[in-house]
DNA sequence: TTGTACGCGTTATCAC
DNA sequence: GTGATAACGCGTACAA
């Protein structure tokens, strides 16, 4: 059953009120109002609301009754202002919540936050550096207790003042620039290596890469993993097989056409993230072309496609969870030097990565 | 370029600070500190911070300089407390941000909120009525300006006191119970009708339904659409073809087996949401069985499966956007009676819905 | 067990 | 154009 007490303080409470129409404009009751109505002092109400000791049982009941009658609800804005100047809210800045990668991160973060009785403000930066900065400032003005972010910009010194004030700031998926702080990344390079080694093991020597912004750390690392794998096998690195800045689906499709039109075309493709993988798969279907493919990031239904897609998978929710756990550890006084965690990746063999050359 | 001014008030600002290590614990500067350091009064600083008139140009510059030096940032907790007792934050309660349906809604909401300079606290109710109530109370204690929710519970009279206080509350995807307030739904019944009519037109008379909780409004309406479509064609409604409470993937798979094992099995299936559709598709693949299928909700890659999936599609982001727009209209004084909006659905023909019986 | 006085950081009022 | 003072709603410290 629901607990009436914490309607106004910490947990839920049923509220016996008949149904009806809404008419706005009434005054929101304050502790002061409750105190007057109950004939006690402000502080006594405060004690009751926060379940503090040293209140007579009769007093407590009387106050509780008034609280219910008036529909009082503690104002956490005022409470936080008085208590510590920071709110029990954390901020999460991601690129786009509609992308499953980020929504899984968000899910992990929110899950942990709920455990700690914190709430999460989620913001979409749309991969825009200026917006990232606007959003962080807006969050800091709201005195979020901490900030988790997948950075879009390439200079995070603007976060330094806030970090110095003690606000934990944790970077997800991409490391900060010009700032030394907690970071949690995927094993981008290692994952890419595994994927490329897999293709090589299946006989491929000309492997095309379709990727996004080469300045984004995760993409750059995946490309580095590609190069390392080739170098290991003494396979020449051919820039003609590379297509960058293909985050837009249309641009990714063009890349497929371009690569397959080459005089000496690739026999396999490596796509560096989920959105690009999907765009490329669409393009290949449109061309009725079959070619070996390994994609970074897993995605739903990959295993049910006519040629099931071999991917480098990882646990995005765990990324969010571990980042949030680290944040709360910092809030609880953990004072270790900046941490750098890595989430492992796994090659999931499904079919597209095992197609032979030609 | 970035604007320095709104680092401390409304927009972003660059912050000239060299890189380095973080050490916490410094005091957060207040307006009082700025005032003292600049040799002006508190109110003058306030004027500068908020770009109010009646400040001499020289004074404004002097204060701005101190603000930058000290790294002052306005405390919006205190600001909101003083101004109107509500924050420039809205709440969004959904079932699960990792589900694309909800993450698209969230994306729409956040997009609109950014336009109005509001931020969004997103909470996952996990389809749990008690948690829904806990979360709304926590949001109200934080004095969110308004609340958007996909309800999980079946009695929302507990929201009445807050609604009476003037906090706009808007229901998405499912209507409230025991409360008359703004609601924005999908055309569940009409969409389901279209889907079932389509199957009937392709010769099906025994159509199995695999759905979730029958008490959830959207699911119930989709089932109602199913029944209406059958009734229109005088096709008997056979309860043996119905499987409810199949939100769990395993339970959905069982449903497929159960239905196909029937003495007089269905020749087509109707799945009432995206998660169930996907679970069912997996089951059918596992059985190497092909059967006509129409699913409610579109999902990524549906068109690339070996038998592309015919679905009843809709614009979840638009659902979120319109709900948010309505919320802000309410905040800006719109005083019309409770609105009831409907987002249209569309039958997307791809293949699975056109398979013949047998 | 209960109450009083004050402060949290900001904005509003009204005086100068 | 500028400043003193009182709020906003609550918690802390200490007194009664």
Q: What is the DSSP string of B62-107?
A: HHHHHHHHHT----HHHHHHHHTS--SEEEEEES-TTSHHHHHHHH
Q: In terms of DSSP bridges, do strands A207-210 and A183-186 run parallel, antiparallel, or are they unpaired?
A: unpaired
pLDDT score at A56: 87
The Cα A118–Cα A107 span in angstroms is 14
Helix ranges (H only) for B217-342 are 217-232, 249-261, 274-287, 316-331
Q: What is the rounded CA–CA span in Å between residue A130 and residue A51?
A: 44
Could you tell me if A110 and A221 lie in one domain?
no
B43 touches strand D (CB under 7 A): yes
Q: Output the DSSP codes for B100-114.
A: HHHHHHHHHHHHHHH
How many domains in chain B?
3
Same-domain check for residues A211 and A303 = yes
Minimum Cα–Cα distance from B126: chain A residue: A111
Same domain, A290 and A194: yes
Distance CA A279, CA A272 (A): 12
For residue A225, CA distances in Å to A209, A217, A270, A315 come to 12, 12, 11, 19
If asked whether residues B305 and B332 sit together in one domain, one would say no
The last residue of a domain, from among B80, B95, B117 = B80
Return the closest nucleotide (C1') to the Cα of A41: C3
Please judge whether A114 and B124 are an interchain contact, meaning their C-beta atoms are less than 8 angstroms apart: yes
pLDDT exceeds 50 at position A14: no
Query: What mean pLDDT do residues A248-277 have?
Result: 97
Q: Write the secondary structure of A127-171 as one string of H (helix), E (strand) and C (coil).
A: CCHHHHHHHHHHHHHCCCCEEEECCCCCCCHHHHHHHHCCCCEEE
Quick check: B77 CB within 7 A of strand D?
Answer: no
Percent helix, strand and coil across chain A, each rounded to 5? 45, 15, 40
Q: Is A107 in contact with B89 (Cβ distance < 8 A)? A: no
Element (H, E) at B18: none
Q: Which residue is nearest to nucleotide C3 (CA to C1')?
A: A41
| pLDDT for residue A115 | 96
Answer whether B123 sits within 8 Å of A123, measured CB to CB. no
DSSP label at B306? Answer: S
What is the CATH number for B67? 1.10.260.40
pLDDT of B84 above 90: no
Report chain B residues whose CB lies below 8 A from the CB of A6. Answer: 134, 137
Distances (CA, A) of A24 to A77, A216, B165, B169, B172: 21, 49, 5, 12, 21
Cβ–Cβ below 8 Å for A119 and B98: no
CATH number assigned to the domain comprising residue A231: 3.40.50.2300
As to burial, measured by CB atoms within 10 angstroms (0-12 exposed, 13-18 middle, 19+ buried), residue A242 is middle
Residues B182 and B327: their CA atoms lie apart, in Å, by: 9
The answer to whether residues B154 and B215 belong to one domain is no
- pLDDT score, position B74: 94
- D3 C1' closest Cα residue: B41
Domain presence at residue A138: yes
CB-strand contact B56/D, under 7 Å: yes
Is the CB of B141 less than 7 A from some atom of nucleic acid strand D? Answer: no
Residue of chain B whose alpha carbon sits nearest to that of A7:
B137
A261 and B CB contact within 8 Å: no
On whether both B126 and B201 belong to a single domain, the answer is: no
Are residues A265 and A293 both part of a single domain? yes
Q: Does residue A37 have a pLDDT over 50?
A: yes
Q: pTM for the complete prediction?
A: 0.92
pLDDT of residue A12: 30
Is residue B248 a part of any domain in this protein?
A: yes
Do B114 and B169 share a domain, yes or no? yes
Distance CA A13, CA A6 (A): 6
Q: Is the C-beta of residue B16 closer than 7 Å to nucleic acid chain D?
A: no
Q: Please check whether residues B192 and B175 belong to one and the same domain.
A: no
Query: If you average pLDDT over residues B17-42, what whole number do you get?
Result: 71
A90: three-class secondary structure by DSSP: strand
- Report yes or no on A348 lying in a domain: no
Q: Is B299 on the interface with A (CB under 8 A)?
A: yes
At residue B121's C-alpha, the angle toward residues A275 and A75, to 5°, is 175
- Final residue belonging to a domain, choices A64, A80, A96: A80
| Domain, as residue range, for B45 | 4-80
Q: Dihedral through CA A260, CA A264, CA A268, CA A272, nearest 10?
A: -70
Q: What is the pLDDT of residues A293-338, one digit of tens each?
A: 999 999 999 999 999 999 999 999 999 999 999 999 999 989 999 9
Q: What is the CA A143 to C1' C8 distance in angstroms?
A: 13
Spatial distance between the Cα atoms of A67 and A40, rounded to a whole number of angstroms:
12
> Within a domain: residue A335?
yes
The helix (H) or strand (E) run that includes residue A238 is none
Task: Name the pLDDT band for B3 (thresholds 50, 70, 90).
Answer: very low
Residue B350 belongs to some domain of the structure: no
Nucleic strand C under 7 Å from the C-beta of A104: no
Are residue B34 and residue B73 in the same domain, yes or no? Answer: yes
pLDDT for position A8: 65
Question: Please, what is the Cα angle at A66 between A62 and A70, to 5 degrees?
Answer: 175
- Tens digit of each residue's pLDDT (9 = 90 or more) over B253-296: 999 999 999 999 999 999 999 999 999 999 999 999 999 999 99
Locate the chain A residue with the closest alpha carbon to B275: A300
- Residue A189's SS3 state is helix
B355 lies in some domain: no
**Model pLDDT, residue A140:** 96
> Are residue A222 and residue A243 in the same domain, yes or no?
yes
- The answer as to whether A356 is a domain residue is no
Is residue A352 assigned to a domain?
Answer: no
Q: Measured in angstroms, what separates residue A49's CA from nucleotide D10's C1'?
A: 11
A158 has a chain B CB within 8 A of its CB: yes
Task: For strand C, list residues 47-66 of chain B whose Cβ lies within 7 Å of it.
Answer: 49-50
Residue A53 near chain B (CB below 8 Å): no
Among A31, A58, A80, residue at a domain's last position: A80
CB atoms within 10 A of CB B254: 16
**Is A282 in CB contact (< 8 Å) with chain B?**
yes
Whether residues B230 and B246 fall in one domain = yes
Which of A122, A136, A156, A317 has the most B C-beta neighbours within 10 Å, making it the best mutation to test the interface with B?
A122
| B73/A98 Cα distance (integer angstroms) | 31
d(CA B61, CA B58): 5
Tens-place pLDDT, residues A99-140: 999 999 999 999 999 999 999 999 999 999 999 999 999 999
């Amino acid at each position: 059953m629901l607990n009436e007490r914490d309607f106004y303080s910490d947990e839920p409470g049923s509220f016996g009120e008949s149904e009806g129409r809404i008419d706005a404009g009434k005054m929101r009751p304050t502790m002061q109002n409750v105190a007057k109505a109950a004939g006690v002092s402000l502080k006594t109400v405060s004690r009751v609301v926060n379940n503090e000791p040293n209140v007579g049982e009769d007093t407590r009941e009387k106050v509780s009754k008034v609280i219910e009658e008036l529909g009082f609800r503690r104002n956490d804005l005022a409470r936080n202002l008085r208590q510590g100047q920071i709110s029990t809210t954390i901020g999460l800045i991601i690129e786009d919540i509609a992308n499953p990668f980020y929504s899984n991160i968000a899910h992990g973060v929110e899950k942990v936050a709920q455990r700690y009785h914190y709430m999460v403000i989620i913001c979409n930066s749309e991969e825009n550096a200026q917006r990232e900065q606007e959003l962080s400032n807006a969050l800091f003005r709201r005195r979020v207790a901490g900030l988790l972010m997948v950075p879009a910009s390439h200079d995070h010194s603007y976060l330094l003042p806030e970090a110095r004030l003690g606000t934990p700031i944790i970077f997800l998926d991409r490391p900060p620039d010009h700032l030394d702080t907690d970071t949690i990344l995927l094993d981008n390079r290692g994952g890419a290596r595994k994927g490329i080694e897999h293709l090589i093991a299946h006989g491929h020597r000309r492997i095309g890469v379709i990727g996004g912004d080469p300045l984004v750390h995760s993409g750059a690392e995946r490309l580095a993993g590609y190069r390392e794998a080739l170098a290991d096998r003494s396979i020449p690195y051919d820039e003609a097989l590379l297509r960058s800045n293909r985050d837009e689906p249309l641009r990714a499709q063009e890349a497929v056409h371009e690569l397959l039109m080459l005089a000496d075309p690739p026999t396999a493709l490596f796509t560096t993230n989920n959105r690009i993988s999907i765009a490329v798969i669409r393009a290949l279907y449109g061309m009725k072309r079959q070619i070996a493919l390994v994609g970074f990031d897993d995605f739903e239904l990959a295993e049910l496609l006519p040629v099931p897609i071999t991917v480098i998978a990882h646990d995005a929710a765990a990324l969010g969870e571990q980042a949030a756990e680290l944040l709360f550890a910092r809030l609880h006084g953990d004072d270790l030097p900046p941490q750098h965690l890595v989430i492992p990746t796994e090659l999931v063999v499904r079919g597209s990565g095992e197609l032979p050359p030609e």
